[in-house]
Amino acid sequence: MTTTPRIGTPSLVEVTVSGHPDALGAAHGEALRDTIAAVYAWRVGEIVAATGEAEADVLARAARYLPAAERLAPDLVREVRGIGRGSGLGFERALFLQVATEVSLEPVAGRSAIGVAGPDRPEGPLVAQNWDQPIESGGKQVVLRLQPAVRPEILQFAHAGVLGYIGLNDRGLGHVGNQLYTSRPGRVDGLTQYFVNRRLLEFDDLPSALGWLASAPVASTCNYLIGDASGELADVELGGGSAHVQARGVALAHTNHYLLAPFLATDTHRDVLADSPARLATMRAGPLGVGTLRDHTGHPASICRHEDPPGLTTRASIVLRLAAREMSVAAGPPCVTPYTTYGFGSA
């Protein structure tokens, strides 16, 4: 296990952990004990404040997702047990961290995601996004390098204490994602988003990842923009318990509303992030690239977002260069924050 602060992004710590699931989780929890405790206090506190529930009631709702996780991803449940042990939170609270988005009644988070590939890109394909969050989320994210005993090495930007978030593996497969908003209730007999995030990063290429995702019952309402080093890209919307490919191509973009017809009737983005269609239109109007992530059209609710509290601000911008197997992170709005690049074997 190594813990390395990186120059250029002082709010991000880089942590490397390795081993079988129990050891991997325990090392993760131990290395980030204080930050994981802060993530837990923030996320459970938001729900308690919004609902008036006791903490025990929130944890009981979180536990409803455990049977599906044990059935569909028992190895990852073992890793969660390790996180709980290493962090001192215990398993019940560590499990909550993996299902907090689904347990929250309406977690507001803005995302603008792009994917670009094609033969005219000598630098190869990329997928990227801006990560828009409230001020309370600040200082709770890390760059986490996972070296499982029997699966690909993974590099991800994540909340401390979660299994999977935004990232790529050493085979060149990576994904970014957006929250989607709907009045249709989720299901508790599927995998939650953070479990899905992680499992997707265990495949060698896009067809394999999409094949698994098409077969997996899911609990989340979200969107994935997934690509691999060959230049294949796909955009996938999750809803109604399953995943549906929305688009494939060499120039893809997505924000925080559904685009597939079956989901439009229950989409509620207008009540949460009404600017989502405008951000998507801006991305579609111009050539896509890293510069897109600095666009201020529609300021302050722009792709590079700068709302005053309690609104959302771009707290991070993440670029995954799939052929190069590199992740670049700006720990703040990319218009004013430099990117730091992380690669495999550089810890």
Sorted by sequence, the CB contacts under 8 Å of residue 77 that are 6+ apart come out as 66, 69, 70
Q: Are 39 and 68 in contact (CB under 8 A)?
A: no
Looking at residue 287, its amino acid is P
Sorted by sequence, the CB contacts under 8 Å of residue 52 that are 6+ apart come out as none
- In DSSP terms, 223 is beta-bridged to 178, 237
Sequential pLDDT tens for the chain (347 residues): 554 444 344 468 999 999 999 999 999 999 999 999 999 999 999 999 989 999 999 999 999 999 999 999 999 999 999 999 999 999 999 999 999 999 986 667 889 999 999 888 888 999 999 999 998 888 899 999 999 998 899 999 999 999 999 999 999 999 999 999 998 877 899 999 999 999 999 999 999 999 999 999 999 999 999 999 999 999 999 999 999 999 999 999 999 999 999 999 999 999 999 999 999 999 999 899 999 999 999 999 999 999 998 899 999 999 999 999 999 999 999 999 999 999 997 44
> Looking at residue 189, what DSSP letter applies?
S
pLDDT at 184: 82
> Is residue 124 left, alpha or beta, with left meaning phi > 0 and alpha meaning psi from -120 to 50?
left
Q: Are 216 and 172 in contact (CB under 8 A)?
A: no
DSSP per-residue string spanning 100-158: HHHHSS----EEEEEEE-STT-TT--EEEEEEEE-GGGTT-EEEEEEEESSS--EEEEE
Which of helix, strand or coil describes residue 86?
helix
Show the tokens assigned to 61: 């709702």
Distance CA 41, CA 137 (A): 11
Sign of CA dihedral 198, 201, 202, 207: positive
**Is residue 211 classed exposed, middle or buried when 0-12, 13-18 and 19+ CB atoms within 10 A define those classes?**
exposed
Which of helix, strand or coil describes residue 220?
coil
Distance CA 234, CA 8 (A): 32
Show the tokens assigned to 62: 């979180």
pLDDT at 3: 47
Q: Which domains does the chain have, with CATH numbers?
A: 2-343 (3.60.60.10)
pLDDT at 147: 96
pLDDT at 345: 75
